[in-house]
Amino acid sequence: MMAAEKTQNWRGELRYDEPMASHNSWRAGGPARCFFKPADVADLCDFLQQLDPQEPLLWLGLGSNLLVRDGGFPGTVIFTLGALNELEWLDAITLRAGAGVTCSRVARESAKQGLTGLEFLAGIPGTMGGALAMNAGAFGGETWNRVAAVETVDRSGRLYMRQPDEYRVSYRTVEGVADEWFVAARLKLEHGDSEKAQQQIRQLLAQRGESQPVQQNSCGSVFRNPPGDHAARLIEAAGLKGKTLGGAQVSEKHANFIINTGAATAADIETLLNQVQGCVEQTHGVRLEPEVRIVGEHSPARDGA
């Protein structure tokens, strides 16, 4: 388990059996065995130095692209939201954003400064750590197109500065050094018109509100778009819009969203996801790849099922 329990040389907040349904946008799933919110990057490093090297780790921001199974996560969650929250200008066009800063805040602060290139982030309901991990994108923009460098930490609490060419980046996929996690990004922008940038953000948010079920509990897009097509089109063409299972439903507004109608379990959501995937493959011959990350253990009731 955690060597950290004996020494407790950290300043952040450590909780046990933390309900993960409170920390993901699906509002479903079981508890995390340990849950740590660091005071800052130095505190995070101190904490990691005291962990058992084999301790399972889950890095969490807004939890907007995450499903935690009903049996919970049998390890330690590192909670960055409101913790790694620094936002500073390194020069006239370079913004350093901590992993726990929301994407929408990065977009708005950049636009206020009259700098452009990150407006698309306003449409991503997550943090910069998650955006870096999956090369999040919306409305034609992608995170790593603006990355000048990233700051990472490893299991021993050592910090690194990494360059973009040290990563293999593609659509919704980022591969880099194993057992290193993002703590901040350095983003390059361009000079532009502040009012135009803020107007574009308002337009993007309005477009998102019209086309997506933003007022309902979901993870955002469930599946990656296959080459040359859209997951939502394939799901709708397979007749799956509105399909329900327990408290989970394929959104009537956007077929690539699965919503929690109020009482969905993580098992409801995962089973419906798998059914949609199987039906689309049977109907269209296309296997959709999930964009959402699924972690943790099934509830005991499912064991042996």
- Residues with catalytic annotation? 172, 221, 291
Question: Beta strand 180-188 with 147-154: parallel, antiparallel or unpaired?
Answer: antiparallel
Give all strands of the β-sheet with 57-60 in edge-to-edge order: 13-19, 31-37, 73-79, 57-60
Q: Are 138 and 123 in contact (CB under 8 A)?
A: yes
How open is the CA angle 303-304-305, to the nearest 5 degrees? 90
Kindly state the tokens that stand for 143: 């995170």
Query: Strand, coil or helix: what is 13?
Result: strand
Q: Are 212 and 257 in contact (CB under 8 A)?
A: yes
Nearest to 281, CA basis, from 219, 212, 231, 244: 231
Region of 154 (left: φ > 0; alpha: ψ -120 to 50; beta: rest) is beta
Q: Are 143 and 188 in contact (CB under 8 A)?
A: no
CB hemisphere CA count around 168 (13 angstroms): 4
CB hemisphere CA count around 106 (13 angstroms): 34
